[in-house]
Amino acid sequence: MDRTADIPKSQRFTFGQRLDNLALDALQSVTKAIFTGDARQKQVFLGDLLLQLEQMLVLWRLGHSRRWLSQQQLLFVSQRLDEAGRMANGWRQQQAGRSATQPASAKPPPQSKGVGTFKITSESAQTGQNAGTTKSSNSLKPE
């Protein structure tokens, strides 16, 4: 988004704003795909992401044809957008395989987002210890 600040002032609001909005929309699509549990819904969000990446690439090419950025700058942004598109497409194909094997009513198991979950083992339950008062590190085991 910092690159759009170099677009000529006469085109910055329309052209630059469109690129900035597409970048933010693409980020939103990735976030939605990460946090949805339904494989079919992920495919929808990833399809949106692929479209947004392609639209950004078209706008950057247009900017290059108007000489707002150099060949080297276009090559750089094209490589990054292509890489993101390949990753999103791979993720989308993976979800297509999952949605084909997963019944529509089945819910995926809950996933931890970086926070460990623990259970009290039979050893700590027999001694009357709980997670808040245990003195032994062996009594709590990650699930």
With bands split at pLDDT 50, 70 and 90, how would you rate the model's confidence at 100? Answer: confident
Average pLDDT over residues 13-25: 92
Within a domain: 107: no
User: Are both 88 and 129 inside the same structural domain?
Assistant: no
Same domain? 97 vs 134:
no
Average pLDDT, the chain: 77
Asked if residue 34 is part of any domain, the answer here is yes
Share of the chain above pLDDT 70, in %: 68
Q: Which helix (H) or strand (E) holds 120?
A: strand 118-120
Domain count, the chain: 2
C-alpha span between 114 and 33 (Å, rounded)? 17
Alpha carbons 37 and 104: distance in angstroms, whole number: 12
Q: Residue 2: its pLDDT value, please?
A: 67
Q: Residue 87 sits in which domain range?
A: 2-101
Q: What sign has the CA pseudo-torsion 54, 55, 60, 62? A: positive
Q: Are residues 141 and 87 in the same domain?
A: no
What is the per-residue pLDDT across 50-75, written as a single tens digit (0 to 9) for each?
999 999 999 999 999 999 889 999 99
The answer to whether residue 11 sits within a structural domain is: yes
Closest CA to 57 of 38, 34, 79: 79
pLDDT tens figures, 29-55 = 999 999 998 889 999 999 999 999 999
- Give yes or no: residues 79 and 142 share one domain: no
Cβ atoms of 52 and 26 closer than 8 Å: yes
Is residue 123 scored above 70 in pLDDT? no
Q: What is the mean pLDDT of residues 5-15?
A: 82
Same domain, yes or no, for 52 and 82?
yes
Region 111-115: mean pLDDT is 44
Q: Is the pTM of this model over 0.75?
A: no
